[in-house]
Structures are given as structure tokens and as C-alpha cells.
Structure 1
Amino acid sequence: MSLNKQISEAELKRLIHQLDIGGEDADGEEDASAAPGERDENGQLVKQDGSIRIRNQQIHVQDPIAGGEYAVIYPMSPVRLFVNEQEVVWEAPVRASDRISWKVEEQPLFEITISEDKLLAHLRLFATERYASRLVDAGPDRRVIVRAEDDESIVLKTVQLADVVAKLEEMSIKSRIEFAAIQRELLEPTYEPIVVASGKAPADGEDARLEIYFDQQVRSEFFEVDGAIDFRNHLRIPTVQKGDLMARKIPMVDGTAGYDVLGNVTLPKPPKDLFILAKPNVELTADGRVIARKQGRPRITGGKIKTLDVSTSYVVSGNVDISTGNIVFSGDVIVCGDVTDNMIVESLGNVYVYGHVFNSTITATGSINVRGNVISSRLYSGYFGVLFNRLYHTSKQLCDSIEKLLAASKLLEEALEAKRQPVRFGQIVQLLLETKMRDILPAIKELQFVISNIRNIRQTEYEKLKEISEMFTKPTKLIESATREFVQGFLALLQDTHGEVARMQEEQVEISINQCQGGELKSNGDIVIHRDGVLLCELFSARNIVFLSEQGICRGSRLDAGDSIRASIVGGQTGAISVLKARRKVQIRKMYSGRICVGKYCKDVFEPIEQTIFDVQALKRYSEPDDKRAT
């Protein structure tokens, strides 16, 4: 073979070294002269980087020549590499003199996991056998990654049923172990998590509940809708007769305990009991039945403690006016005529008005039904009926004031004791009433007035309250007789009165009207407009606002519903706009102009729209959140 140019001996040896021809002697050691430094034409060593070569489970390093760079080595998991007994986790330069060792970190053949609720244990098989490992040949090169591969000719370990069971025991898993499932996975691996042990979830019990056997709302036959006239001359008020079964308590049912895969007992969620308080007009039997003792309207009030009663009714055969005075009644109020200007009707029950309501206030812990028109009046039902009730408000105001009075009197007592100037407690109270606590006496007089005007109450319930409050209006007697315990007793009676009124709030309340102009209506239930609609009104409902008549209008009004609004005709060609705001949905039959808000999204309507339903998703497409618009 002829060459155009004779190759040097050094170049030939370097080529032999790269091709791994005769690279090892008989002892398997690398020939140190396999790649001597190359020299240039002037006989100087040529710059050459260091190199690494992996062969036959050995790592060989050659140092650089003439200022070349050192070779770099780094491991790939599961190989762990050590240079001079220091573990290398990333790239590391090495020399021929370095002591390099390695080992392959064993990977688990399977794992056992426990679910978060500890009711299931899963086995996941990664491999059925573990093989010996060997290094993958590489190089020579300046940068070498140390890799390992399985030598399938040498089996070190095979997963057995006993291995899995031993691991389960090590993890203290002992409940309902599925040996068959484990063996099946070992024989026919899916390599997916399988259930190998399971506990038993606790079975929750059932809360106590109250089955009610009477209608809690007035029937809508009371109204006219779209010209369909109901000629009945009475309200469809729910009524029970003496001996009727009003309700029945279904007792709570205890749950059953369970256990987890670790063998621990897991307890069920304890059921909630229901407490029932029976008023004198009802009987609560040992087996939880509630039976009426008299005829009247059945009612249920309260939250955690359910109070059942049969309410009597106070009937005003004509108008509520100056001749009748304000009506304050512990039960239902039925007004056969009108409620005239500047009158107040307060009911710890429902209020039914056959006529109109003019510039007056009606509060009811239950529902309010007005057959006529509502003009410039305020109607508050349910929670709002409690909130705006004068007995509730006055007792709450006095509770706060008496607490401040007690705190202030204690400070004065301590200051006087420090100066060794004893004084009667009653004198301190009287001094505070005349100076810092001047609002207490007017509130006490208001309380006395309200109590004296409440019809259908057992006076013995308020005799003590009236007696104590009377003492505050007599300075001489107060100074002589008042003690701290006396004032604390008055505070306790006020708190009981306030709590009693608060518990009068009924469930399933609503305000039902035909039409309203210039009024304010608030209900923690529904507001239902049966006929003509509302004009220049403020309506707030914790649930729904519903216009039943297709011709019912809403003009210049603000409606706010905790759930949804269903309106018929909103706005007009002229006049003030209306704002309709609901948490879930606003449904419109026809709207000329106004503003619609659902959740935090709003839309202004400038052109007439018909048969449209607005919800959050609909408004999101073309509106900004209400809070952003405000900014």
C-alpha cells in the first residue's frame, strides 16, 4: 500500500490507541505507552486533554499533556461514584493518580403505600427480579458519564410472597391482608398499584330530625293573579285542632366504628341531637311526638333549639289607627281593615292585612301578607322582623348600657376604696345615670312602654323585669337599695328577654304583597309580588324575589336577592332606572333599561331586552366585576 505522505510513528500509535487495538497487555492492564505525547515538527509535545475510558468494569484515566484540560467524570443514577473516598454527585475533574471507586445503589423491587385515610394499603411492583449490575463501556473521551446496566445472566433476588408480607408486618399493616392478590401480582405483574390490605370505614350515624306535619306558609289563594279572582273571604292560614299531631322527633342514630389498615379503631362522626322546647299550648310526649293542646296556627321557631307552639291570633276588625293604637302582640295579628298613617304593628308571629298599609311600619318574626296596597311603608319579616322589633332593640340597647354601667361603677368603687372614701353602690349608679349614662333612663322608659303595650303575654314573665326597671326611675330608692347583684340580676333578665325575642324568628317566612310604592321590604325568606308590582321601592330578600303576574312592573326600585330574582316588566320608556342584584340568577320577561348584577358581575341595559336569563357565566362574557367598576 503506497501513501502520498509517510505517517509518523507517533500518529500511528495514537490511531491504534483510539481504535483500541492491542490496548491491554496480558495482565489486562492498560499499556502506559499506548498513547505517548505527540510531538510537533520541532520535537515539542503537542497539547492534549486528559481522557477517561471504561472497560471491563474498570475506569482508566489518562492525564493531560502540555497544558491540556483534565478529564471530567460524573455518575448517572443509580451509580454512586467516589473519587478519593469522596462521593461525586456532579461533574468532577480526575487525574490518573486518583482512587476511583463505584457502586450501584439498589432500587426497591416494590413499595407499599398507605392511603391518606389509612383505609387502604397498596402494593406497587417495580420488578420481579434484581440482577447484578455492570458498568457500561465508554470512552476514551474527555467527558465520560458512568452508567450501569443489568446483567440478566446473574439473578441476585426474586420477589417472593414472604418478602411482601414481611414488609407489611414491618409497617404494622395487619388488617384484612389480601394474600391472593399479592401472589397474583407476583405471578402476573401489572406493575400498577393494587390493594393488598384494607380497613373498614366508620359508618356515620344520622342526625336527629323533626318531621313537620303542618304547612308553614300561607297559601297563595289569598291573592288575585292576572284577573283570576279568589272569592274566599279568609286567608288560608295553617291551622291545627286540639289533639292534632303537629310534628315528631326522629331520634338520632349512632354510627358504627371502623378500623384502619394499622388496626386502629376509627370512630364515626357523632350525630347531632335535636332539642325541642314545647310551649304550654303543645304537648311533647316521651316518644317525641308534638301534639296540639288547642286550636290555632302551629308555629316553629328557633335554630339549635326548636320551639313549637300553637299561636293565638289578635284580630283587629277594622283599621289600625289612633283609636286602636299601635299593635304589639305575642302571636299572629290579623287586620281586617287598613293600617293607617304612622302606625306600628309588631308581631311575634305572622301579620295578615286585608286592606292597605299607609306610611306605617310592620315587623313580624314570621311572615307578612298584605292584600291591598303598600304605600310609603316599611315591612320587615323573619330575622329583620326580630331586628326591627322594639322589644328586641330596646333590650339589646339596655344590655349594652348596663354592662358599661357595671364596668364604670367597678372603676369608681376601686378608686374610692383606694382613697378610703366608702360610698353606697346605689349612689354610684345614680351618679352615673345623671352624668355618663344618660341614655339608660330613656331606654328603660321605652322598655316599660313596649312591655305595657304587648298583648297576649303572661304578665308574670315580665313582672320582675318591670319591678327592677321601675327602681331605676326612683332615685331615692335606687340609692338606698341598689347593689351590684341587683344590677347584675337586671342585666340577666334583659339578656333573657333579648334572647327570647331572637328565638321567635320563624322558618320559611315570606313577605307577600300585591303592589308597593315608596316602601322598604326586608325578608330573610322570599318576597312575592302577586299583582301590580313595585315603584320606587327597596327590596331585600335572603332568598328569592318573585313577580308572579306577567304584567307586574318594577320601576325606579332596587332589588337585592340572596338567591334569584324573577321579574316581569322592568323599567319603562321614561323614569328612574331599576337595579336588580342577585347571587345566582336574574330572569327577565321584558326590560327597557336598568342594571343587572349577578355575583360580582354587572351589566347596564340601555336597549329593551326580552325573555333573558342572566347568570354569572352569561355576565362574564361582556361585563367587568362590580368591584372593578367601582374603582
Structure 2
Amino acid sequence: MSDHISEQEILNLIKRFDHEHEDDIDETIDGYVKVEQGKIMVRNPSHGGMISTIRAISPLKLFVDGKMILRETEVYSDSKIEWGFEEKPLFEVSVSEDKIEVYLTIFSKQRYALSLAEMAPSLHATFTAEEDLNRVLEMVDLKAILAAVEKMNIAVDLDMEAIRSEVLQPSFKPIMIARGKAPIQGRDARLELYFSENIESVFTEVRGLLDFKNHLNIPSVKSGDVIAKKIPLVEGQPGYDVFGNVLLPDPGKDIRIAGKDHVEITPDSVVIARKEGRPRILGTKIKYFDINTAHIVPGNVDLQTGNIVFAGDVIVYGDVMDNMIIESLGNIYVAGSVFNSTLTATGSIMVKGNVIGSQIYSGYFGMLYNRLYHSSKQLMDNLEKMMESARLLLHEIEKKNMRVRYGQVLLLISESKFQQVGDVVKELLKVIASIRLHNKNEFEKLSDYLEFFLHPTKMVKDMTAHRMKDFMHKLKEAYMRVALSQESHVQIQINHSQNSTLKSNGDILIRREGVIQCDVQSSRNIIFFLDNSVCRGSTLEAGDTISAMYVGGMTGVASSLKAANKIMVKKMFEGRIIVDQKTIDIYEPVEEKTFDSSII
């Protein structure tokens, strides 16, 4: 056998080696990252292998190509990878939000030297820091803590014992090391009332019959009774924060009280009744105490009694019949029902029977819809414009050295520009004619002035600028009498209402059957009491909460319920719910549901 290899055999070997090498090249290889002796090395993938990634765990920080990475990031062999450490403080001195307290929190007693931990080759590398327990770089000590406190300009004494104890045996929790003095809040002035402001069960039943004699269940006092006492405000005491700044307490809220004709207020703010009647509180900024008298109607309010206007409570032991008006500068109590009529009260209204086709206004709304208030203010606004026009016209006439009666100028202005004044005057005269008992005499002078506008000859002859000013004063007294009669806590109480409007700036309480096709508006709450009471085809709007039972029905017009805070229904068949400007339409029955702005 020859020792020499032929050229052909060499060529065959080359082909075989090339073929084996091609098989090796086809193998897929992933990239990897490893750490050796503090150095990061990256190998690129080949033939479609996966690219290696890196991320860091605090306190280690990684930078790839000059940018700190915050999440898992791909790297290559030519990537510039740098690393460092985030040096967290050993302790922290903090001040509470109200600046009353200073806290020390120790996170660690010492700081060790850190290095990059060794890591075997990995496709997805997580780099960590490694502490060298033999190299302590820094330790918590009292001097460093005191230096930190000094930089913060803390002006109160430090609890040195608490600081030393925490340094020696750290709890690793915030501990208080200094404290200022919080201001001591005072107490607002308040009223202690010795009578009920709310309508109670005025009409009681005896063996199934109304006890008409028992109307004194209305809150009542006798002359000499103490009805209230003002508890004065207590001023607070100032404090100081940890920086030495004075902290003032919130200013206390005082209450100003005053008494009407039949109420005495002693120097020590005790309120005493000087007349028998119902005590009440009027006004907002100033709390006025008054004693209300009552006008009692033993039967129905009808054409025989006429409309009723009274500066006190009105108690009706019968019904209010069709197309009648009751206007009260107090409360209205009706033992029977109200049919197609209007009731306005600056206080509360309670109807024992049904309310059908009527308008019921209490409190602020009772003031607005009171004819004496509305007509007096409307007439006063018109007369102010007429008097200004008269002043300008008289000035021009005087410049021409001519003379004319004041009443004649006023009449011409009224007939040419303010024809509506005559209708307002007639309405006011009707109201005054309806005023009951002693109050009527107080409006005689106002009636005389009103008559001027219905008799042109008398207007021209007797009306003067001085009389017009006095007339304006009487008008202002009339509408202010109503405005100042508005009570603080009012409500409407009914059993059943249909085709009616009910408005109150207090609660509206539906005690029994419910409301059908009504407009019900309350500045506070609308509450249905009976489990099976209904609300059908009605619009309800409350400044706070609506609590209803059965809303809508299987057939009929849907209801709309709107409240600022929340709406609770036992069952609602269909309708619209609005809470805090958010709306939801109900098409399918819902039961035992509470709606508020968070779930609409």
C-alpha cells in the first residue's frame, strides 16, 4: 500500500469536511450575558438565536449606552453597559403634614461596600449587588441625626432620650423626637331650644274620630316661659409648630339673636316669652325669636270664609275647598283635605287629608309665592322707575320755567309706560282685604295710598313727592314683613297628593298613600314613610336625599327622581334617576336599590 494520498482523495476529504462544517453552521445559538470579576460580558446570538436581556435589582443601577434602564432591556456585544449603586439614606427626619410633630426613621444601622455579584452565563440576566460585610462605609450616629435636624431649622426641644434609644436599638419605624403645640379649638356659639321647631302630630284621634279640641298639641308657651338660651362661643388658644410659627385656632362662629315685640332677651342671653302662643325662630344671619298667634277656622275654608291672609299660624279643622287661598306668616295645619287651592306659609305646612290639584309652598317658597310679598315688591320696583322718570321730567319742565302738579306727572307716566301698575294695585288691595284680625289695621295707610292709583282725580290733586316716599316705605314694610317671617326649619307633611305642586326649602314628608302626577321639590329630603306608598308620573327633586317606595307601575307615565346626594327606592318599574348631574334611565324593574354618583 502506497504511503502517498492521491489528489482525488484529498478533494473528497475537503468535500466531506465542508459538509460536516455546514451542519455545524446551521445550529441555532442564543446569546448570553455573564459577570466575571466585576466585568459584564455579552455574547451575540447566531442563526436566529434569542437576544439576551438584562435588568437590575435595587440598589444596583444599570446604564446601557448612557441611559439608565428601568425595565428588562436587550443587549449586544457592542452595547456599552455601565453600573452603579443607588445610595439610600441610613435615616430620615420628617415633619408631619400639620407641622406639629418631628419623626426619626432609621432604615439601616450601617452601610457596607457594594460590588456587582458574579453571575453564570444567562439568556435573561438579573444583576444584583453584593455587600462586603468586611467593609463598613458609614454608620448611623447621634451627630449625623442632630446635624440633619439642625438643617431643618427645628425650633422646639428634641427628645434626646428617644433619639439615643433608637440609635442603639433601632425599631426601623418612625418615632416622634419633637413636638410643637396644636392650637386648642374653641366652641361655636349655639342655641339651646326648650321647644320643638318641627310639626308634631297636631290632630290626634280618639276612638277613630279626630279630637278637634286638642289643637294645643302645637308647640306652645305661656308668658314668662324660658324658650331658649344662647350658649356663648368659647375662644380657642393658639399653639405653635415645630418651626416656632404661631398656629391660630379657627375663629369661632357667633350667633346674633334678637327678640320681636313679645319676646324678652336678658343680658345673659336667655330668651323669655312675654305672650302665649307658638315660639318660632326667624331669619338667617340674625336669629329672631317671635311668638306666633293662631287664626282658627272651625270648619271649611270656602267662599263663605273667603281667602285667608294671616301673620301667624292658620289652623283649619275642615277642608280647604276649591279655588281658595291661605297665606300664613307661620305654619298652616289642615285637618281635612285641600282641593284645587293654594297654600303658602313662611313656616311649615301639614295636611291630614289629601292634596288634590293644589299648590303647596313652605318656607322660602312660601315667601316667594306669597301675594303680599310678591305684589308689594313688584309694585315697589315699578314705582322706583316711575319716580325716577318723574324726577327727570320735572327737571326738564322747571328748566322751561313751567309748573305742573307732581301727581299729574306721575299719572301720565303710569298711563303711558306702566299700565300694569293698576293690576298689581288691585291684587294688593284684595290681599289686604283678606288679612285677618288685628293685622288688618296695620295696612290701612298702605290701602289709602293704593287707592290713589285707582282714582286719577285724587292722584293729580293729592299725590306729592313726600307722600310717594312714604308710600314706598309702607310697601317695603309689607314685603319685608313676609321676608323676615321665614322660619329656619320648615317642612311639608301630607298623606296623599295628586295633580299638585309641593315646594319647600325643608323636608317633604309623605306619610301614607304617596303622590300621583305631582311636581315635588325640596331643598333637603323627600321621604315616603308607608311601605306601599307610590310615586307615579311625578317629578321629584331634592337637595339631599330621596327615599321612595314604589316608583312607577306596570303602566302609566314614568317618574323622574333627582337628588344631590342619593336616591333609595324599594321598587322602581321605570323612569329616570339623576344624582349629582349623573343620569340613568330605568327600563326594567329594580328592587331595594340605592343610587349615588359612584354607581351611576
TM-score, normalised on structure 1? Answer: 0.67
Deviations 1:498-521 (A, max 9, x none): 454233222443333343333222
1:616 aligns with 2:599: no
Report the 3-state secondary structure (helix = DSSP H, G, I; strand = E; otherwise coil) of the residue aligned with 1:314.
strand
Report the 3-state secondary structure (helix = DSSP H, G, I; strand = E; otherwise coil) of the residue aligned with 1:222.
coil
1:603 aligns with 2:583: no
Query: 1:581: which partner in 2?
Result: 561
Q: Residues 268, 422 of structure 1: CA spacing in aligned structure 2 closer, same or farther, 3 A cutoff?
A: farther
Query: 2:465: which partner in 1?
Result: 481
Which amino acid in the other structure matches residue 499 of structure 2? G
Query: 1:543: which partner in 2?
Result: 525
Q: 1:219 aligns with which of 177, 200, 210?
A: 200
Which amino acid in the other structure matches residue 265 of structure 1? V
Aligned residues: 530
Question: Structure 2 matches for 1:281-296, cutoff 5 A?
Answer: 281-296=262-277
- Whole-Å separation in 1 of the counterparts to 2:84 and 2:537: 84
Shift of 1:278: 0.9
CA contact (8 A) 1:223 1:371 kept: no
Q: 1:333 aligns with which of 306, 314, 335?
A: 314
Q: Give structure 1 stretches of 5+ with no counterpart.
A: 1-54, 58-75, 81-87, 92-101, 139-146, 626-631
- Whole-Å separation in 2 of the counterparts to 1:480 and 1:536: 52
CA contact (8 A) 2:516 2:535 kept: yes
Question: Which region of structure 1 is more displaced relative to structure 2, 167-176 or 178-187?
Answer: 167-176
Which amino acid in the other structure matches residue 603 of structure 1? I
Deviations 1:30-69 (A, max 9, x none): xxxxxxxxxxxxxxxxxxxxxxxxx999xxxxxxxxxxxx
- Whole-Å separation in 2 of the counterparts to 1:294 and 1:497: 23
Question: Which region of structure 1 is more displaced relative to structure 2, 150-159 or 537-546?
Answer: 150-159
Shift of 1:290: 1.3
Which amino acid in the other structure matches residue 341 of structure 2? S
Q: Residues 312, 482 of structure 1: CA spacing in aligned structure 2 closer, same or farther, 3 A cutoff?
A: closer
- Whole-Å separation in 2 of the counterparts to 1:259 and 1:174: 10
1:298 aligns with 2:279: yes
- Whole-Å separation in 2 of the counterparts to 1:470 and 1:230: 45
Report the 3-state secondary structure (helix = DSSP H, G, I; strand = E; otherwise coil) of the residue aligned with 1:220.
coil
1:243 aligns with 2:227: no
- Whole-Å separation in 2 of the counterparts to 1:203 and 1:321: 61
Q: Residues 457, 119 of structure 1: CA spacing in aligned structure 2 closer, same or farther, 3 A cutoff?
A: farther
CA contact (8 A) 1:124 1:193 kept: yes
Q: Residues 370, 577 of structure 1: CA spacing in aligned structure 2 closer, same or farther, 3 A cutoff?
A: same
Q: Residues 429, 265 of structure 1: CA spacing in aligned structure 2 closer, same or farther, 3 A cutoff?
A: farther
Query: 2:338: which partner in 1?
Result: 357
- Whole-Å separation in 2 of the counterparts to 1:268 and 1:526: 35
- Whole-Å separation in 2 of the counterparts to 1:190 and 1:518: 72
- Whole-Å separation in 1 of the counterparts to 2:437 and 2:102: 66
- Whole-Å separation in 2 of the counterparts to 1:300 and 1:108: 63
Query: 1:85: which partner in 2?
Result: none
1:322 aligns with 2:306: no
Q: 1:269 aligns with which of 250, 255, 259?
A: 250
Query: 1:45: which partner in 2?
Result: none
- Whole-Å separation in 2 of the counterparts to 1:618 and 1:114: 36
- Whole-Å separation in 2 of the counterparts to 1:123 and 1:477: 91
Shift of 1:581: 2.1
Deviations 1:322-370 (A, max 9, x none): 3333211100112233322222110000112233322211111122223
CA contact (8 A) 1:276 1:305 kept: yes
Question: Which region of structure 1 is more displaced relative to structure 2, 535-544 or 439-448?
Answer: 439-448
Report the 3-state secondary structure (helix = DSSP H, G, I; strand = E; otherwise coil) of the residue aligned with 1:539.
strand
- Whole-Å separation in 1 of the counterparts to 2:188 and 2:107: 47
Q: Residues 322, 613 of structure 1: CA spacing in aligned structure 2 closer, same or farther, 3 A cutoff?
A: same
- Whole-Å separation in 2 of the counterparts to 1:389 and 1:618: 36
- Whole-Å separation in 1 of the counterparts to 2:116 and 2:332: 92
Question: Structure 2 matches for 1:554-569, cutoff 5 A?
Answer: 554-561=535-542, 562-567=544-549
- Whole-Å separation in 2 of the counterparts to 1:355 and 1:79: 85
Which amino acid in the other structure matches residue 450 of structure 1? V
Report the 3-state secondary structure (helix = DSSP H, G, I; strand = E; otherwise coil) of the residue aligned with 2:587.
strand
- Whole-Å separation in 2 of the counterparts to 1:517 and 1:148: 80
Q: Residues 158, 428 of structure 1: CA spacing in aligned structure 2 closer, same or farther, 3 A cutoff?
A: farther
Question: Structure 2 matches for 1:442-481, cutoff 5 A?
Answer: 442-447=423-428, 449-451=430-432, 453-455=434-436, 476=460, 481=465
Q: Residues 188, 405 of structure 1: CA spacing in aligned structure 2 closer, same or farther, 3 A cutoff?
A: farther
Shift of 1:241: 1.5
Which amino acid in the other structure matches residue 465 of structure 2? S
Q: Percent identity?
A: 44
Q: 2:150 aligns with which of 169, 173, 176?
A: 169
Question: Which region of structure 1 is more displaced relative to structure 2, 148-157 or 551-560?
Answer: 148-157
Question: Structure 2 matches for 1:136-147, cutoff 5 A?
Answer: none
CA contact (8 A) 2:552 2:559 kept: no
Deviations 1:562-586 (A, max 9, x none): 423343x66667x634526263343
Q: 1:382 aligns with which of 339, 363, 367?
A: 363
Q: Residues 177, 430 of structure 1: CA spacing in aligned structure 2 closer, same or farther, 3 A cutoff?
A: farther
- Whole-Å separation in 2 of the counterparts to 1:350 and 1:114: 56
CA contact (8 A) 2:203 2:335 kept: no
Q: Residues 527, 605 of structure 1: CA spacing in aligned structure 2 closer, same or farther, 3 A cutoff?
A: farther
Q: Residues 424, 299 of structure 1: CA spacing in aligned structure 2 closer, same or farther, 3 A cutoff?
A: farther
Query: 1:48: which partner in 2?
Result: none
Shift of 1:293: 1.1
Query: 1:94: which partner in 2?
Result: none
TM-score, normalised on structure 2? Answer: 0.70
Shift of 1:307: 1.6
Deviations 1:416-468 (A, max 9, x none): 79xx8799996987665454554455435544553454345667976886787
CA contact (8 A) 2:567 2:596 kept: no
Q: Give structure 2 stretches of 5+ with no counterpart.
A: 1-35, 39-56, 70-82, 120-127
Deviations 1:540-575 (A, max 9, x none): 333123244x665555444444423343x66667x6
Q: Residues 465, 176 of structure 1: CA spacing in aligned structure 2 closer, same or farther, 3 A cutoff?
A: farther
CA contact (8 A) 1:223 1:514 kept: no
